[in-house]
Amino acid sequence: FRFGVRIEILAMKISFRISNLSKVYEMGEEKVIALDNISLEVPEGDYVAIMGPSGSGKSTLLNILGCLDRPTKGNYLLSGESVEKMNDQELSALRAKSIGFIFQSYNLIPYLNVVENISLPASYEKKSSLDFARAEELAEIVGLGDRVSHRPLQLSGGQQQRVGIARSLSNDPSFILADEPTGNLDSKTTSEILELLEDLNQKGKTIILVTHEE
């Protein structure tokens, strides 16, 4: 019995587990094998970097891990739940609850200000009024407490990515997936953003980072 309990605890420590996963894009006659038989385990609380040349399937992998896309073949366990068995609605719910995304090009809504952009994912999930107090707190955490009413175009690239990071936190996800988040930033801003991610990892977030930064 004790042994059984122990196994359960160990199993819970793995947050992402993919096995023999492939993704093939079919473009008419042509097939693009973006991922070919990949296996990967990421324990809870880990901070993992995925590196590789352009076109090697990094974004494809991250999109599948983030439940934005499905594999062609293979298994994917997210926090012990088998993702391929879920329908689109269950997948969206799981994504909204547990995953935060950060993008290279920030993907902010230009006509919304900082707090509105940050509170967007939370407003999708709860389908209720936007939680601006929470968004202001998050703006403070990423160092934008004095920019809450600015719109994206009134901010520098680094500040926009801080908004992107704050937005990724708005559902209080356990996992953060970042796809080249510093790809458009200079080296000083890059280290500031990486410091912010490091800090989130110290606070317990599991992070998978696609990057070119050694």
Neighbours of 57 (CB within 10 A): 18
**Rounded Cα–Cα distance for residues 135 and 120 (Å):** 9
CA atoms of 47 and 198, how far apart (whole Å) = 8
Q: In the complex, what is the shortest distance from the CB of residue 59 to Mg ion, in angstroms, rounded to a whole number?
A: 3
211 counts as binding Mg ion under rule CB under 5 A: no
| Min CB(169)–ligand ADP separation in Å | 23
Pairing of strands 81-82, 73-78: antiparallel
Binding-site partner at residue 133 among Mg ion, ligand ADP, none, CB < 5 to 8 Å by type: none
- Shortest separation between residue 145's beta carbon and Mg ion, angstroms: 32
59 versus 190: smaller Cβ distance to Mg ion: 59
Tell me the number of residues near Mg ion by CB under 5 A: 2
Nearer to Mg ion by Cβ, of 58 and 150: the residue is 58
Nearer to ligand ADP, 54 or 187 (CB): 54
Q: Which of 9, 69, 19 is nearest to 42 (CA)?
A: 19
Which of the choices Mg ion, ligand ADP, none does residue 145 contact, using the CB cut-off of 5 to 8 A by kind?
none
In angstroms, what is the minimal distance from the CB of 25 to ligand ADP? Answer: 3
Which residues lie across from 206 on neighbouring strands?
A: 175
Is residue 59 part of the contact set for Mg ion (CB under 5 A)? yes
Residue span 10-49 as binding mask against Mg ion, x where in contact by CB under 5 A, dash where not: ----------------------------------------
Contact assessment for residue 159 and residue 144, using Cβ atoms and an 8 Å cutoff: yes
Nearest to 78 by CA among 105, 101, 98, 54: 98
Residue type for position 56: S
Q: Which is nearer to ligand ADP, 107 or 156 (by Cβ)?
A: 107
User: Is residue 190 close enough to count as binding Mg ion by CB under 5 A?
Assistant: no
Asked if 119 and 169 touch (Cβ cutoff 8 Å), the reply is no
For ligand ADP, give the closer residue by CB, 25 or 111: 25
Which distant-in-sequence residues (6+ apart) come within 8 Å of 32 by Cβ?
Answer: 24, 25, 26
- Which residues of the shown chain bind Mg ion in the complex (CB under 5 A)? 58-59
